[in-house]
A = this chain, B = another copy of it.
Amino acid sequence: MAPEKGEKAAAGGKQAANKNVTVPVSLNGISVSKEVNFSQWYQEVVTKCELVEYYNEISGFYILRPASMFIWGEIRDWFSERTKAMGVEETSFPLFLSATSLEKEKAHVEGFAPELAWVTKAGDKDLEVPVAVRPTSEAVMYPYYAKWIRSHRDLPLKLQQWCSVVRWEAKQTTPFLRAREFLWQEGHTAHLTEQLAEKEVLEILELYAGVYEQLLAVPVVRGKKTENEKFAGGYWTSTCEGFIPTNGRGIQGATSHALGQNFSKMFDITVEDPNKKGEHLNVWQNSWGLSTRVIGVMVMIHGDDKGLVLPPRVARIQVVVIPVGITAKTKPEVRENLTEKVNELAAALKGSKIRTEVDERDGYTPGFKFADWEMKGVPLRLEFGPKDAEKQVVSYARRDNGEKGTIPLAEVATQVPVLLEQIQKDMYDKAEKSFSSHRLVLNEWEKVVPSLNSKNVVIIPFCEEPKCEDEIKDKTKSDEVEIGPDGKPQPSMGMKSLCIPFEQPEGLVPGETKCLNPSCGRNAKSWVMFGRSY
């Protein structure tokens, strides 16, 4: 079904669909260069490659089409399998929060308040108490954690749900990266001790990093958020941070929060201390979430001027087989023989569990088909024509680097899976090389803004003080104009802290190295990664 749906947008009109008639068709490809107008490029790629459709009825909402839901499904399967092994079970809490219960948790809710969508009517009747659509589920779930957790033997309690949440953003929205509704998984767990809770925070962070690195071929830096950037209601936040080379911006990948006892105190979630009879203790909680944002990050990092470039492990179509070398003069028996061989080839690939599509559309030249599937990001193209048949080979072209070659027909079922894994690895390595070469460890303040302007993120000695962080943000604003996410020019934003990397560079001497902010004067506590960011 996929190629049929693809074709229409590519063909640009109904007349192209007329079977058995060779009509000239031109690809409605990506019209701008990624480097020249990144935001328009992104918008074209996500729509023309059929990842999303803009929802015209309500701004800030997007339809996720099969090409993106496939990726999300692969992520869900991968992550669910691993969290299940950790003892995490699935749950489904209601979509709504009542205004009354929200009032009790004002501190937590404050941050979300401006973005809450309020249901005030059902049918034509006003609700007695309005209800808000969940922006996240702490306040929905934790009253029940208090009910369900009655003994230390009810711990750990590990639940997650896959659902959508609504945050009615006032800011400019962007598909995947900032939408008023998005899909995510949210995990909420409770533990007896701080140590057990923190162990899980990092296990989950490692799974999030795995989603990026192993599935999406996107390198991330693992670390801890500063006070300014952590989840407001929590104790500390771990994060994996990505990097978009095209504009040099950092982007938060996914976060796993140690909530400490803040929420268990707010919601009165306690158990009797198993070591001190009669005494009660508040449980230690975590929450962690990964959203469809990951897809946007993947698109931005791997895509090129031809369109999408998909890592093989999450590509709905991993290999497209295109018959070539057929002309009006080709004899029917040659044509039939080719069709048969192509189907054998596809069957062999499917036998090796390779997601394979054969493009047998009439009325389109091989060149058109090549460009169409390149735009859609299919990792590997196989071409098969009479000449290949003679030589008992199939020709291939890699989407990621354009490399071409041939594979003996007899080895297709074994060679193609190897080649796909090689593509996966090469895509990761390329992105990793790019990120590591744009992550500059700096000891001189003067180099900071020029480094940002040259599309880098920086790692600098920092005191970790919130006020100093605000100052740094302010000082690093630049008059240099950049294109904003809305496509309009704007002055460059200041940098904010992305994370305190767990893997610290060398050279920071405790009690000696100063915070890099020249007007600070405090000692540096750690190397902190800063950058302009999404």
Contacts from A to B (Cβ < 8 Å) = 1-2, 4-5, 7-8, 11, 13-14, 16-19, 53, 55-58, 61-66, 69-70, 72-73, 87, 89-98, 100-101, 113-124, 130-131, 133, 140, 143-144, 147-148, 150-159, 163-164, 166, 168, 170, 181, 183, 271-272, 274, 277, 361
Asked whether, in the complex, the Cβ of B153 is within 8 Å of the Cβ of A7, the reply is yes
Sample of 10 further A-B pairs with CB below 8 A, known A19-B274, A116-B122, A120-B121: A2-B89, A4-B155, A7-B151, A8-B148, A11-B151, A18-B277, A57-B98, A57-B143, A96-B181, A113-B123
What's the Cα separation between A477 and B246 when bound, in Å?
72
- Cβ contacts under 8 Å, A13 to chain B: 150
| Given contacts A57-B100, A157-B5, A17 and B90 within 8 Å (CB-CB) | no
In the bound complex, do residue B17 and residue A152 qualify as a contact, i.e. CB atoms below 8 Å apart?
yes
How far is it, in angstroms, between the C-alpha of A54 and the C-alpha of B369 when the chains are bound? Answer: 55
Min CB gap A489→B, angstroms:
28
In the bound complex, CA of A118 to CA of B120 (Å) = 6
User: A143–B66 Cα gap in the complex (Å)?
Assistant: 17
Known: A5-B157, A101-B57. A17 touches B150 (CB 8 A): yes
Contacts of A63 in B (CB 8 A): 91-94, 144
Contact residues in B for A114 (Cβ distance below 8 Å)? 123-124
Instruction: Give, as a whole number of angstroms, the nearest-CB distance from A508 to chain B.
Output: 42
List B contacts of A11 (CB < 8 A).
151
- Complex Cα spacing A339 to B58, Å: 61
- Whether A123 pairs with B168 at a CB distance below 8 angstroms is yes
Q: A5-B154, A8-B148 are in contact. Are A92 and B64 (CB under 8 A)?
A: yes
For A362, give the chain B residue with the smallest CB separation.
B153
Asked whether, in the complex, the Cβ of B159 is within 8 Å of the Cβ of A66, the reply is yes
Q: List 17 A-B contacts (CB under 8 A).
A: A1-B157, A5-B157, A8-B148, A13-B150, A14-B272, A17-B150, A19-B274, A57-B98, A57-B140, A57-B143, A63-B91, A63-B93, A64-B92, A66-B89, A66-B90, A95-B181, A120-B120
List B contacts of A7 (CB < 8 A).
151, 153-154
Which residues of B sit under 8 angstroms from A144, Cβ to Cβ?
53, 63
Going nearest first, the 6 A-B pairs with the smallest beta carbon separation are A17-B151, A66-B89, A122-B168, A114-B123, A64-B92, A118-B121
Nearest CB on B from A48, distance (A): 13
CB distance from A329 to the nearest CB of B (A): 26
Q: Given A101-B57, A120-B121, decide whether A14 and B90 contact each other with a Cβ distance below 8 A.
A: no
User: Is B116's CB under 8 angstroms from A117's CB?
Assistant: no
Output the least CB separation between A208 and chain B (Å).
21
Identify which of B69, B95, B117, B154 contacts A122 (C-beta below 8 A): B117
B69 in contact with A90 (CB, 8 Å) = yes
B-chain residues with CB within 8 Å of residue A164 when the two chains form the complex: 92, 95, 163
Residues of B within 8 A of A181 (CB): 94-96
* A157 surroundings in chain B (CB, below 8 A): 1, 5
CA of A94 to CA of B175 in the docked complex: distance in angstroms? Answer: 13
Residue in chain B with minimal CB distance to A152:
B17
Judge whether A153 and B4 touch: CB under 8 Å: yes
A329 to B14, CA, bound (A): 85
Among B8, B70, B87, the residue within 8 A (CB) of A90 is B70
- Name the residue in A18, A124, A153 with the highest tally of chain B Cβ atoms < 10 Å from its Cβ: A153
Contact A156 B1 (CB under 8 A): yes
Q: How far is A14 from B7 in the complex, measured between Cα atoms in Å?
A: 64
